[in-house]
Amino acid sequence: MRDLIDNLEKNKILSNEEFIFLLNNISDQEAKYLFEKARNIANSVYENKVYIRGLIEVSNYCKNDCYYCGIRCSNKNANRYRLSFDDIMKSCSIGYELGFRTFVLQGGEDSFFSDEVLCKIITCIKSKYPECAITLSLGERSYESYLNLYNAGADRYLLRHETANNNHYSKLHPKNLSLENRKKCLFNLKEIGYQVGSGFMVGSPFQTTQNIVEDLLFLKELSPHMIGIGPFISHKDTPFKNYSNGNVNLTLILISILRLMFPNSLIPATTALGTLCDNGRELGILSGANVIMPNLSPKDVRNKYMLYDNKLATGAESAEGLDKLRNNLKKIGYDISIERGDYKE
């Protein structure tokens, strides 16, 4: 087992069988060994810095019907909202004052946010805060649309592939969505010049160890700048309401494996990790993650962007809770960085 971990550390890719063996047999002691290696690699590239991103959830309207997601279009219990131009600019202003230098605009696939509307928002944020990065996370769009948004000033794009196995993909999504198109979007984003983020849920319904290995191998092929993974958490108004949540320890092991596979990548300790476990985000950082994305949405909409049950949005999880987050991280030897936090080549 330790030789496999050492090989990953030397940047050797493991075979399918080796990954399966590692994931199925790693002991607690060996996991500790892995976490420490991953942490050391993260520290050697990014020191003990944790980059922060202000997450602005612009809309929970969505035309898609992903079986796992609380804001899927057929969830009639979702209380829908959409931020106005002024709401978004106000969130950026609050975030800027707090020290954020990256704004992440995330939302469901809401046709209100046309290229025209988004370009206006992006241009305005960039003219007010030229030194800030803009990250978008608005789902699948055409090549032309991604290009327009990039030309307006967007720097980064987050689009998790969700699962790299076709059969598994079809168990998580309705027929009109395909893994093929999702992957095509990711390669288009890279070609255009975005810093690209992808990733998957850990423990989503029907996921096998083999599926996870396929996720790791797909990520190797894509070679993204950012990788977001978090445990699946069930939502009471979805077809997956009775499925169990993903495992926190497996998520941490995967964060470490990803850190060894992609030493320079930007890996968030996700909200889902913090939701399932009190100190989940700290554990994520100690496993090699180096990014945290506090919630910067207007307070009155935060409980409406409910991707899964009990999603955290207050305390150290919120933009106003930055001091608390800073203290929590200090205790484990890390400092919040207020730099833009771009990918280091």
Does 103 interact with ligand SAH (rule: CB under 6 A)? no
For residue 85, the minimal CB distance to ligand SAH (Å) is: 20
Does 214 interact with ligand SAH (rule: CB under 6 A)? no
Angle at 302 between CA 148 and CA 147, to 5 degrees: 5
Residue 11 or 310 having the CB closest to ligand SAH: 310
For residue 214, the minimal CB distance to ligand SAH (Å) is: 16
Query: Which of 35, 46, 51, 308 is close enough to bind ligand SAH by CB under 6 A?
Result: 308
Does 296 interact with ligand SAH (rule: CB under 6 A)? no
The residue among 261, 253, 244, 180 whose CA lies nearest residue 206 is 244
Does 53 interact with ligand SAH (rule: CB under 6 A)? no
Q: Which amino acid is at 85?
A: F
Distance CA 304, CA 290 (A): 27
Task: Give the footprint of ligand SAH on residues 152-181 (CB under 6 A).
Answer: 159-160, 162
Residue 199 or 288 having the CB closest to ligand SAH: 199
Does 318 interact with ligand SAH (rule: CB under 6 A)? no
Which residue, chain included where needed, has tokens 């996700």? 270
List of residues 6+ apart from 1 with CB closer than 8 A = 21, 22, 25, 26, 27, 30
The residue among 237, 344, 311, 289 whose CA lies nearest residue 55 is 311
**Stretch of residues binding ligand SAH (CB under 6 A), selected from 30-38, 118-126, 231-239, 282-290:** 231-239
Helices (H) and strands (E) in the chain, counts: 13, 9
Does 201 interact with ligand SAH (rule: CB under 6 A)? yes
The residue among 91, 135, 86, 145 whose CA lies nearest residue 113 is 145
Residue 41 or 296 having the CB closest to ligand SAH: 296
Query: Which of 225, 235, 259, 281 is close enough to bind ligand SAH by CB under 6 A?
Result: 235
Query: Which of 59, 137, 207, 290 is close enough to bind ligand SAH by CB under 6 A?
Result: 137
Angle at 224 between CA 215 and CA 130, to 5 degrees: 145
**Stretch of residues binding ligand SAH (CB under 6 A), selected from 34-42, 89-97, 102-110, 331-339:** 102-110
Q: In this structure, are residues 293 and 104 in contact, taking their beta carbons and an 8 Å threshold?
A: yes
Query: Which of 60, 91, 102, 106 is close enough to bind ligand SAH by CB under 6 A?
Result: 106
Does 58 interact with ligand SAH (rule: CB under 6 A)? no
Q: In this structure, are residues 99 and 52 in contact, taking their beta carbons and an 8 Å threshold?
A: yes
**What percent of the residues of the chain are helix, what percent strand, and what percent coil, each to the nearest 5?**
45, 15, 40
Instruction: Write out the residues near ligand SAH by the rule CB under 6 A.
Output: 68-69, 106, 108-109, 137-139, 159-160, 162, 201, 230, 232-233, 235, 272, 307-308
